[in-house]
Amino acid sequence: MIKGSCLCGAVTLEISGTPTSLSYCHCSRCRKAAGVFSAVLIGPVADLKITSGECHIARLEPDAPNVHRRAFCEHCGSSLGDLATDSGIYVVAASILDDDPGIKPMGHIHTASKPDWYEITDGLQQFEGDYVPPA
């Protein structure tokens, strides 16, 4: 079980099972929410359970062509990610994890949107758009 919580503790969650990936997202929305990039944990939405504070989660719907909602705690502003996508996955901001997810970052996604002044030097794979895990 991987537990997570927002800064003020109003929102808590649990993730069962093994996440599909841990990535660094450079899309413009993640940059605005987190800085240069956002570390995101991705897995099947059936493995995610909001254990408290569902009523404190605010959501910002995306404008096209973006597909992910931005969820955040209405009290402290902690970015939570997209907790229930239409495609059946969760995208949880790794910054709210209280436990080790048991996997390491696999790469950088949406690098086509990264700022020109930031150079990726860690040797991880880079994807101009979304990473689609092998079936």
Smallest Cα–Cα separation from 24: which of 13, 9, 34?
A: 34
Tally of structural domains, the chain: 1
104 found inside a domain: yes
| Residue range of the domain that includes 81 | 2-126
Reading phi first (left if > 0) and then psi (alpha if -120 to 50, else beta), residue 24 is in beta
133 found inside a domain: no
The pLDDT value given to residue 85: 66
66 found inside a domain: yes
Kindly give the residue spans of alpha helices, DSSP state H, lying in 1-57.
28-34
The pLDDT value given to residue 106: 93
Peptide bond into 101 cis (omega under 30): no
Domain CATH number, residue 55: 2.170.150.70
The pLDDT value given to residue 59: 87
The answer to whether the CB of 49 falls within 8 A of the CB of 92 is no
Residue type, 72: F
Q: What is the pLDDT along the chain (135 residues), one digit of tens a residue?
A: 999 999 999 999 999 999 999 999 998 888 888 888 999 999 999 999 999 999 999 987 767 666 567 889 999 999 998 887 677 889 999 999 999 999 999 999 999 989 999 999 999 999 998 766 555
131 found inside a domain: no
The pLDDT value given to residue 56: 96
Q: Is 134 exposed, middle or buried (0-12, 13-18, 19+ CB in 10 A)?
A: exposed
